[in-house]
Amino acid sequence: MTNEQCTTLKVLDNVPFGQIAGEHLFFALRLERPTWKSWQPGQFVMVRPSGWALDMLWARPFSICRVSNRDLVLFFQAVGRGTRRMASLKSGDEVLVWGPLGNSFEMEPDTPTLLLAGGIGIAPFVGYVHTHPRPWNLHMEFGHRMPLNCYPYESINEKIMGDAHHEQKPEDLAAFIDCMDKRIEEFAGQNGLVLACGPTPFLRTVQQLSQKHNARCQLSLETRMACGVGACLGCVTKVSDDMQVNGVAAGRAQVCNHGPVFWAHQVNLSED
């Protein structure tokens, strides 16, 4: 049985980025190009290396970083049991991939658009920037804790204006938040678009700032998933009343198939 939405792909290479204490934790995993007809920046794929036996059951979700004529590129941080094992993938290994899954970021070519990335949340913006028809309307603020060369920042910075903010001490975080505050206010004033991806505390801050300035803002949520197709209900987020349509049960929506991108006013990121 073949299905272009669930297919086995060969690893072309698995390129480490940067070093932390002599160890590589960040990787660009380059796979054969799938036969998808289309994809949109912000969508994701589920990846399960064929070598995994039954000790780890779930595939892992990854934002699509880039798709070219030759390859599919995913960017990941070796942080847990699965991604640590994925760090050892080599050229010629096979992985099962299903997708593209979920929805995508708004793309309004003529609208000034602010990209806010936190750490590994930079991944989907690589594809966004490289497929945007008018990249001169884009600007990025990138907050990161690891050295800059751990991330695919260069790939973005060569196309659009951007600033990187290295958080090494608490004052750095405060300065980054202050910067985002000013930038969101500025883009809101131009009826611009604000897009954000990163860890939940970062998104919570972006959400608060966008509400403060009444900015049009989308957030791409990252969460644990088992199936990626809306069946397991393991990746839900609390949503506001106006999302209680389209099969959303009692205020909780699956991130995988109702997102991962939500308008900031639609989700409630407060802890349960």
Partner 1 sequence: MDMRLNLPGLPDFSFKNPILTASGTFGYGVEFAPYGDLTTLGGIVVKGLSLAPRAGNPMPRIAETPCGMLNAVGLQNSGVESFITEKLPKLPWRELPVIANIYACDPGEFAELTGVLAREQGIAAIEVNISCPNVKEGGILFGQDARQAARVTEAVKRMAGDKPVIIKLSPNVTDITTIAKAVEDAGADMLSCINTLSGMGVDIRTRKPLLANVIGGLSGPAIKPVALRCVWQVSRAVNIPVIGIGGIASAEDVLEFMLVGAHAVQVGTANFLRPDFSFRLVQEFEQLLQKMNITDLEEFRGSLKA
Instruction: Give the footprint of partner 1 on this chain (CB under 8 A).
Output: 1, 3, 5-6, 48, 54-59, 81-82, 96, 98, 223-224, 226-237, 247-252, 257, 272
Which one, 48 or 66, has the nearer CB to partner 1?
48
Query: What's the closest the beta carbon of residue 35 comes to partner 1, in angstroms?
Result: 14
Using a 10 angstrom Cβ sphere, with 0-12 exposed, 13-18 middle and 19 or more buried, the burial of residue 249 is exposed
Query: What's the closest the beta carbon of residue 222 comes to partner 1, in angstroms?
Result: 12
Enter the tokens of residue 187. Answer: 């883009």
Which one, 55 or 158, has the nearer CB to partner 1?
55
Query: What's the closest the beta carbon of residue 54 comes to partner 1, in angstroms?
Result: 5
Which one, 1 or 21, has the nearer CB to partner 1?
1
Enter the tokens of residue 166. Answer: 């290295």
Which one, 42 or 228, has the nearer CB to partner 1?
228
Enter the tokens of residue 139. Answer: 């600007």
Query: What's the closest the beta carbon of residue 165 comes to partner 1, in angstroms?
Result: 27
Strand pairing report for 193-197 and 216-220: parallel
User: Is residue 230 within 8 Å of residue 241, measured between CB atoms?
Assistant: no
Which one, 84 or 134, has the nearer CB to partner 1?
84
Report residue 55 CA to chain centroid gap. 27
The CA-based diameter of the chain, rounded to the nearest angstrom, is 55
- Matching residue, tokens 């990846």: 47
Closest Cα partner for 116 from 43, 206, 208?
A: 206
Query: What's the closest the beta carbon of residue 72 comes to partner 1, in angstroms?
Result: 17
